[in-house]
């Protein structure tokens, strides 16, 4: 039996890259890079786990055509900022 997950409409995120390029991506979930207070994580292993350095980066996921997908993965140092712009509106000429 397969489960159907309805995550609703995709949110729009604005990404500012260190190069200055600004782009928008639509996603349901954004995973932030781990903070520096936890510098290690357990690696996956069959009989034991090893301590490894975390992979620092952003991950954007979404449900596209009924499947959960990784939409974008980027190194933390390549992105200056990410903000959700789904429910913001730019008003021109001071009219709101």
4-41 tens-digit pLDDT: 456 788 999 999 999 999 999 999 999 988 765 444 44
Task: Write down the pTM of the prediction.
Answer: 0.67
Residue 47 has pLDDT above 90, yes or no: no
Provide the CA 64 distance to its chain's centre, in angstroms: 15
Give CA–CA dist 86/8, Å, rounded: 13
Residue 85 has pLDDT above 70, yes or no: yes
């Amino acid at each position: 039996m397969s489960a159907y997950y309805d995550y609703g409409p995709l949110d729009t995120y604005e990404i500012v890259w260190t190069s200055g390029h600004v782009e928008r991506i639509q996603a349901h979930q954004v995973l932030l890079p781990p903070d520096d207070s936890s510098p290690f994580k357990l690696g996956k292993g069959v009989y034991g786990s090893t301590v490894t350095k975390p992979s620092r980066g952003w991950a954007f996921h979404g449900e596209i055509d009924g499947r959960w997908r990784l939409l974008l993965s980027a190194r933390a140092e390549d992105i200056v900022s990410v903000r959700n712009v789904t429910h913001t509106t730019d008003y021109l000429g001071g009219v709101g």
